[in-house]
Homo-oligomer: A and B are copies of this chain.
Amino acid sequence: MQGRLLIQSSRRLASSSGRLCVGTRHLLHPHISVISHNCVLNQRSMSQSTGFKQGPHKLLVIPGPIEVHDDVLFANAHSSVSHVSPDFIPVFGDCIRMTRDVLFTRTGQPFIVAGSGTLGWDEVASNLVEPGESALVLHSGYFGDSFADCLETYGAKVTQIKAPIGSAVQIDDLKTALQQKKYKVVTVTHVDTSTGVLSDIKAVAKAVQEVSPETLVIVDGVCSVASEEIKFDEWGLDVVLTASQKGLGTPPGLSLLVASERAIQTFEQRRTPVTSYYASWKRWLPIMKAYEAGTAAYFATPPVNLIYAFNTSLKQITQSSISVDDRIRLHREASRKVKEAATSLGLKQLATDPAFAANGMTALYFPDGIVAGQVLPKLLQEDIVVAGGLHKDIREKYFRIGHMGITAVDSSRGDIDKIVAALKKVIPEATGVVNKTLGAYSYNERAEAMQARSRL
C-alpha cells in the first residue's frame, strides 16, 4: 500500500492568496479517495494545508524515521532551487532560528548539515576533543558504545560508565567519576533508541556543573529533540545533537547540532587542528552565520529539498497553536497510553523504572516463550510497523514502538489508538491467553493470567 499518492484539497481551503478552493471527492477504492484540485496551491503557505496528501500506508511507528506530515513531504518535492538563491537563503536562515526555538536557546549555534545523526558525534569528537584528551561516556545502551568508538577514532581517551540494561547511569556514579579525573567532555544519550531508556540530562548537567564545571556537557538527543523536555540555556548544556527523522518530523538526511557559546569558544581555542574535514566547524560556522545573516556562503552544497522540508516541520513545531512545551506534554500523554496498554497486557518495559522510560518511544520485552516472529508480523497485518530489538545482548527478546511527532501530537490521526488496539489484538493472540472466557476479563485480569502462564 505504501507509496501511493492522494491529492486532496479540503472542501474550503484558503490558499495563500485567499482564494477558496472547493474539492470534489471521487471514491475509487475502499481505502483510497482522490479529491481533485481546482485551485492553484502555493507551497509557501505552510500554515495552510498544501493539498498534497500521501496515500494510505502502514503506520510507521518505529523510533525513527517517523510518520511525516503531508506538507513536509510536499516541501521535500520542491522544485530545484539554487542553494545560493535569494529564495532559499531565508528558508535556511529560518531553520537555524527555529532550531534554537525548539531547544529553548537564545545563544546556541545551530549546525545543519547533510548527514545522518551519527555525523553529530564526529562533530563533537573532531571539534571539541583534542587528541589525547579525556571523555566520559554515560552508557545506557547501544549508542553509548558507538559514541565512545567515534570519540576514540579521533584520539580521545574514553571512559565509560555503563548502566545495567533498562536504566540510566546514577548521578552519584557520575559525580564520583568526575571527582577522580578531569574530563574535557561528558556525553549522555538522552534517549537511547536501542532501549528506550531516558537519562535525566538536567541532573547530569547539574552534577557536572557542581563537580567539574569546566567539563562540557554533550547530549545525544537523536531520539529526544522535540519529544522530551530540553532547556538548553537554562540547564547549561553545551551540545545537543540530533537528526531530522525523529521528533523533528522530517525525512532522514539532516544532521543537526546546537553548540553553546562556551563550546564554540572551546573549539576556537583549540591548540591542534580540527581532525575532520566534512565535520569541521571551521568550515561550517561561517556558512551557518552567513545564511542566518541573509547571505549565502559555500562549503558544500546543502541538501536544499530536505531543508525546505525541515523548515516546514519546524514551523509546525514552533509556530503552531501547540507550543513546544505542549508538544512535550502531548508526547508524555501518548507515551502513558501506550505504556499503560502494554502493562495491561502483561508486557514488561525494558526501562526498569518509570523515571528511565522515554516519552517518545517504548521498548517492551516479549512475553516469556514468545518470539518476534509471533508478534511483529501480526502487528504488520494490522498495518502497524514497529521495530525489533537492537541492543546486542537481548536483541531477540524485545521490540520497540515509536510515538513521536504527529503520531503523538495530532490525536485526530488516531495513531496512538491504532497502536493500542493492535497490541490488544495481537499480544493475547500470540500468548494464547485469549479465549472466550478470558476475552471477557478486564485487562488487569488478563495480564495477571498471562503472567501466571509465563511462570509455568
Contacts and interface: CB of A to CB of B under 8 A. Distances in A.
Interface in A249-290: 251-253, 255, 273-280
Contacts of A4: 40-43
A47 to B, nearest CB: 15
Given A77-B74, A83-B252, A387-B82, A275 B64 contact: no
Interface stretch (A48-56, A96-104, A350-358, A428-436): A48-56
Contact of A304 (B153, B252, B300): B252
A302 B251 CA distance: 10
Contact of A36 (B37, B251, B298, B301): B37
A34 B40 contact: yes
Contacts of A54: 77, 79
A251 B7 contact: no
A344 interface: no
Interface string A297-318: 0111111111000000000000
Contact of A40 (B29, B81, B305): B29
Q: A3, A274, A390: which has the most chain B beta carbons within 10 Å?
A: A3
A336 interface: no
A324 interface: no
Contacts of A160: none
Contact of A252 (B154, B252, B303): B303
Contact of A82 (B73, B385, B390): B385
- Which size bracket describes the interface of A in this complex? 35 or more
| Copies of this chain present | 2
A390 B298 contact: yes
Contact of A275 (B117, B149, B275): B275
A375 to B, nearest CB: 16
Contacts of A274: 153
Interface in A20-36: 24, 26, 28-29, 32, 34, 36
A245 interface: yes
Contacts of A116: 113-114, 278, 300-303
A39 B28 contact: yes
Tell me which of A5, A42, A298 has the highest count of chain B C-beta atoms within 10 A of its own C-beta: A5
A126 to B, nearest CB: 8
Residue in A115, A121, A274 whose Cβ sees the most chain B Cβ within 10 Å? A115
A87 B122 contact: no
Contacts of A278: 115-116, 118-119, 121-122, 150, 278-279
A85 interface: yes
A191 to B, nearest CB: 15
A300 B84 CA distance: 29
A409 B246 CA distance: 38
A196 interface: no
Contacts of A304: 65, 245, 251-252
Contact of A3 (B65, B66, B79, B113): B79
Nearest to A86: B380
Contacts of A68: 79-80
15 contacts: A2-B78, A3-B43, A43-B55, A57-B80, A60-B79, A65-B80, A67-B80, A114-B253, A116-B302, A119-B278, A122-B276, A122-B277, A122-B278, A276-B276, A298-B390
Given A2-B43, A34-B40, 13 more contacts: A5-B41, A5-B74, A34-B39, A36-B38, A57-B80, A60-B81, A65-B304, A84-B387, A116-B302, A118-B278, A153-B276, A253-B303, A276-B276
